[in-house]
Amino acid sequence: MEPQTVRDRMVDRIQHMLKHAVIKDPRFLDDEQLIRAEQLALIEEIFNASVRDTEIEELSSHFAGILRGDHPCHLAVWGKTGTGKTLTLTYFLNLLTELAKSRQVDVRHVHLDLSTPQPCFRALNNLACLVGASKSHKKGISLEELMVNTEEALADQSGYLIIFVDEVDNVRRDRDTFLKFLVRRLPQKIRARLILVFVSNRLNWPDQLDPRVKSFLKLNELLFKPYDARDLEHILNIRIEKALYPDTVELAAIKKIGGLAGHDHGDARKAVALLVKSAYLAEKAGTKITLALVDQAVDELHCDRYVALLRTAPVQLKAALAGVIEASDRAKGRAVATGGAFDAYRRFCDRVGQRPLSGRAFGDLLAELDVHAFIRSSVVSHGRRGRTREITLDIPREIVAQLSDVIRMDFNLRR
DNA sequence: TGTCCACAGGAAATACGGGGGT
DNA sequence: ACCCCCGTATTTCCTGTGGACA
């Protein structure tokens, strides 16, 4: 019998949702929400499934000397994003410290997290905070002073000190100063034996180093291979078991997620994100996670990425994109030249009462839009009619429409 | 063959903000 | 209150350039 009243329909819907719930514990879909112990347990479970075995083995042999009183050299770890570098290292170093303690070897490690790009100053500052050398300054203190503070705080410690520098290449500007300090200066000022662990996702990272630092830096190298589809399936299964109700995922869907993520980067984070999105879609649809839903999740993630990126982007970048969109509309699909886009941008600024930037700066904004894949641009010469970027909007229409909405909201525009 | 357009994109200068030491 | 230090954002100035056109 058809439900008649609002109340009936509501009860019906709720019962349906309960019966077809997919997500059991959403916390396990988002690492941020887990407490530290849970995170470590999760990692352990993943490693137990013999994922990352070779890497852990290599790490062990690299650091084994510590327990014998040797001094291992520094270590450089490479691998693409989402291959578990940070996780593995954290886990490993914790274990190592514990093990060393049980054998009366004094080992300390600090994790200097540079996962967001930051200048030399903040990096040094963070390091100083980690070793308890100073409180968190924002500005206004000289680099020298930070270094001295750090040295003093560490001066009379003995044993081993492992500094785990996560995502080194995120130190913008004066990277050499930063590294010179770590590699050359610090070891001479402290009693403890220093072992540096650098993590980076770019293989050619040491190439662009100051030669004086480079020659000083004796490195052992370790490469994290991207996860393959099998690893990813392991990881997904562990998540699924913890976060979802049993029997809510089609087997083929797991394979598909693993395959997709493995295929394009071997990035575990992406795989989990895809699982999460699929799970929410399934919950909404009141079904299991099916292949079709995975496809839909891929599309939505794609779209979300753009929208999220734009939401948090600086105003000028939004305005620039608005200009490109407008110019692009006007050009009816043909490519737009820099000048045209700039004019449109200036008109837009005029309309919303914002001061437009110079042409030079606009060029940089375009470059930025390009790296975020909002637009595609290439420099083309039209002979005597000059050289320009030819700009095309490289995004599906629906997404462009959504982006326009974001921009309109931001600038309080109607229509 | 040389000219010259319409920009690209590097370098340095400037503006602005804000925090620390004294 | 003053000066110093640092960061980011932007401007100003500049040199460079592929190739259609005269």
pTM of the model: 0.76
Q: Which of residues 304-363 of A touch strand C (CB under 7 A)?
A: 314, 316, 357-358, 360-361
Cβ of A385 less than 7 A from strand C: yes
Measured CA to CA, the distance from residue A219 to residue A104 in angstroms comes to 27
pLDDT of residue A209: 66
* Closest C1' nucleotide to A138's CA: B19
Q: Which residues on neighbouring strands pair with residue A118, listed in sequence order?
A: A171
Query: Which segments in chain A show pLDDT lower than 50?
Result: none
Q: How far apart are the first and last CA of chain A?
A: 44
Pairing type for strands A193-200 and A336-337 reads unpaired
pLDDT of residue A367: 93
Chain centroid to Cα A159, Å, comes to 33
Cβ of A116 less than 7 A from strand C: no
Protein CA A329 to sugar C1' C8 (Å): 33
Cβ of A359 less than 7 A from strand B: yes
Protein CA A361 to sugar C1' C9 (Å): 10
Helix residue ranges per DSSP H, A244-358: 251-264, 268-285, 291-311, 315-330, 338-352
Residue-wise pLDDT for A104-116, tens only, equals 888 888 888 887 7
Residue-wise pLDDT for A184-216, tens only, equals 777 787 888 888 888 887 776 666 666 667 777
**Nearest residue to C8, CA vs C1'?**
A119
Protein CA A278 to sugar C1' B12 (Å): 51
Cβ of A387 less than 7 A from strand C: yes
Protein CA A327 to sugar C1' C8 (Å): 29
Question: Residue A273 contacts by C-beta under 8 Å, 6 or more apart in sequence?
Answer: A301
Residue-wise pLDDT for A8-54, tens only, equals 888 887 877 777 777 777 777 777 777 878 888 888 888 887 778 88
Show the tokens assigned to A367.
Answer: 């470059």
Cβ of A18 less than 7 A from strand B: no
Cβ of A382 less than 7 A from strand C: yes
SS3 A249: strand
Protein CA A178 to sugar C1' C6 (Å): 15
Q: How far is CA A209 from CA A186, A196, A205, in A?
A: 18, 16, 8
Show the tokens assigned to A352.
Answer: 């919303």
Measured CA to CA, the distance from residue A283 to residue A179 in angstroms comes to 49
Protein CA A315 to sugar C1' B15 (Å): 19
Report, in ranges, which bases of strand B sit under 7 Å from a protein C-beta.
3-11, 17-21
Measured CA to CA, the distance from residue A165 to residue A144 in angstroms comes to 20
Protein CA A121 to sugar C1' C10 (Å): 22
pLDDT of residue A204: 67
SS3 A179: helix
pLDDT of residue A322: 92
Protein CA A317 to sugar C1' B10 (Å): 22
pLDDT of residue A128: 78
Crossing angle, helix A229-243 and helix A36-48, to 10 degrees?
Answer: 140
Measuring CA to CA, which residue among A249, A192, A197, A248 is closest to residue A219?
A: A197
**Nearest residue to B10, CA vs C1'?**
A360
Cβ of A340 less than 7 A from strand B: yes
Cβ of A14 less than 7 A from strand C: no
Show the tokens assigned to A324.
Answer: 């490109």
> Strand runs (DSSP E) across A122-258, as ranges?
160-166, 171-172, 193-200, 219-223
Question: Residue A6 contacts by C-beta under 8 Å, 6 or more apart in sequence?
Answer: none
pLDDT of residue A140: 59
Protein CA A150 to sugar C1' C2 (Å): 29
Cβ of A140 less than 7 A from strand C: yes
Report, in ranges, which bases of strand C sit under 7 Å from a protein C-beta.
4-13, 16-21
**Nearest residue to B20, CA vs C1'?**
A140
Cβ of A149 less than 7 A from strand B: no
pLDDT of residue A206: 66
SS3 A161: strand
Protein CA A126 to sugar C1' B21 (Å): 21
pLDDT of residue A324: 93
